[in-house]
């Protein structure tokens, strides 16, 4: 019991953001970042026209109105360094320069994100044969590059990869910490993402706004499920302004409708940044409906920023839950996640999820929009599609000593 209490106190401090002295979240970004990022669909094959088109589509599609507020330009924009060592944007792909492109993004009321590496070379310089990325990393040019990207060009977010850092044999905690301090000194409020491809360690909570917990995502259900598992036990490190990054979304990139819904739902439940990775100029109405589900987004953007926990695991069928607003609000979000290739019935007991069933509760199905009248049932059951999910928003009375406070 004593050990449980100690673990609860530590986890509560982590969730509330008072463990150590975490980097301050950017103003207005205490909740997970939302936007679009270029890498999943375009890799290094980006240009000025593509970024402008995606920016425009974010607005005309209604995604900006739904909360998506960033356009993130990943690897592939580099054009070498000038005689003074300053980075140049690619003269053919980005003829008007990055500063003008950022200004265009800003003119649409959006934030702009950029990319670099902790070492000398970027990931794309090797893995995607984009040789112009050689020598484009931060190593040896830290202040020069960050002053240019964040102040002169005007970026509001930076993702820092680790390929070059790994190739140099750098110590990740030391390196990412010094980069984070420099970013904060140059332009306080810039969002900083550590892209180490695994959970870096609890030190990162004091350094960055988000950090990758996995290798690069793939547009396959098994890959989605693996990332969920990697993040399952990392909930103590998530809180306002500091979240576990499960990588960019693959919604609309080849999976089934139910798989896309499950993918988006679990990213929302586990407080991952919501960065669409599809081509916004060609997405279907179905994809748009998933990405703009306002009730699902509201869960992701809940101000408590309490990452969902897996509270029941029956193999292929799981029950995940998280409190909303605060741990005694009597409002929770529940995800019934079915990993199996066949539909399955998943049951849960509201009392085990902090809700006092005897005092009554109501439920909203976040995807079907079906509302359930007030109930005192001690158990609920739902049929969940193969590779699918049912997400419920439940409102009732919180148990005074509940799972979200003491375990």
Q: Output the CA–CA distances (angstroms, integers) from residue 100 to 53, 115, 173, 186, 245, in the order listed.
A: 15, 17, 34, 21, 29
For the chain, helix, strand, coil in percent to 5 are 35, 25, 40
249-270 CB burial, b ≥16 within 10 A, e <16: bbbbbebeebbbbbbbbbbbbb
56 classed as catalytic:
no
Nearest to 22 by CA among 181, 205, 156: 205
Is residue 343 within 8 Å of 384, Cβ to Cβ?
yes
Give the separation between CA 112 and CA 287, rounded to whole angstroms. 23
Look up residue 162 and give its two tokens.
């680790």
**Would the CA dihedral through 2, 8, 14, 17 be positive or negative?**
negative
Is residue 328 within 8 Å of 305, Cβ to Cβ?
no
**Would the CA dihedral through 346, 352, 354, 357 be positive or negative?**
positive
> How many helices and strands in the chain, by DSSP H and E?
14, 18
215 phi and psi angles, rounded to 5 deg: -70, 180
Residue tagged active-site, from 161, 245, 247, 260: 161
157-161 and 191-194 as β-strands: parallel, antiparallel, unpaired? parallel
Residue tagged active-site, from 56, 128, 216, 356: 216
161 classed as catalytic:
yes
C-beta atoms surrounding 282 within 10 Å: 10
First to last CA, the chain: 10
Nearest to 314 by CA among 341, 343, 346: 346
Look up residue 218 and give its two tokens.
């793939």
Is residue 266 within 8 Å of 340, Cβ to Cβ?
no
- Catalytic residue numbers? 161, 216
């Amino acid at each position: 019991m004593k050990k449980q209490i100690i673990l609860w106190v530590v986890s509560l401090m982590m969730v509330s953001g008072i463990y150590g002295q975490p980097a301050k979240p950017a103003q207005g970004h205490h909740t997970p970042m939302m936007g679009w990022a270029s890498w999943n669909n375009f890799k290094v094959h980006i240009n000025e026209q593509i970024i402008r088109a995606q920016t425009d589509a974010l607005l005309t599609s209604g995604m900006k109105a739904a909360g998506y507020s960033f356009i993130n330009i990943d690897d592939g924009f580099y054009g070498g360094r000038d005689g003074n060592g300053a980075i140049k944007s690619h003269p053919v792909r980005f003829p008007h320069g990055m500063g003008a492109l950022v200004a265009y993004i800003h003119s649409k009321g959006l934030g702009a994100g950029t990319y670099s590496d902790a070492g000398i070379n970027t990931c794309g310089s090797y893995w995607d044969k984009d040789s112009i990325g050689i020598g484009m990393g931060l190593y040896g040019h830290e202040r020069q590059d960050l002053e240019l990207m964040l102040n002169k060009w005007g970026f509001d977010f930076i993702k820092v990869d680790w390929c070059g850092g790994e190739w140099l044999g750098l110590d990740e905690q030391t390196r990412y910490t010094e980069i984070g301090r420099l970013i904060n000194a140059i332009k306080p409020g810039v969002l900083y993402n550590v892209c180490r491809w695994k959970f870096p360690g609890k030190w990162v909570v004091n350094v960055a706004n988000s950090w990758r917990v996995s290798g690069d995502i793939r547009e396959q259900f098994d890959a989605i499920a693996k990332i969920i598992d990697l993040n399952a036990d990392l909930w103590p490190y998530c809180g306002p302004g500091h979240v576990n990054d499960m990588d960019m979304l693959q919604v609309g990139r080849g999976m089934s409708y139910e798989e896309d819904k499950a993918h988006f739902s679990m990213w929302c439940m586990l407080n991952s940044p919501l960065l669409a990775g599809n081509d916004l100029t060609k997405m279907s109405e179905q994809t748009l409906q998933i990405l703009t589900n306002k009730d699902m987004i509201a869960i992701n953007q809940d101000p408590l920023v309490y990452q969902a926990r897996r509270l029941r695991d029956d193999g292929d069928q799981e029950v995940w839950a998280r409190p909303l607003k605060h741990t005694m609000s009597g409002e929770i979000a529940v995800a019934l996640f079915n990993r199996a290739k066949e539909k399955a019935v998943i049951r849960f007991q509201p009392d085990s999820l902090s809700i006092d069933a005897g005092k009554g509760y109501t439920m909203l199905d976040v995807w079907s929009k079906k509302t359930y009248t007030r109930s005192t049932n001690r158990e609920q059951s739902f049929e969940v599609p193969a590779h699918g999910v049912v997400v419920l928003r439940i409102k009732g009375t919180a148990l005074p000593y509940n799972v979200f406070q003491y375990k």
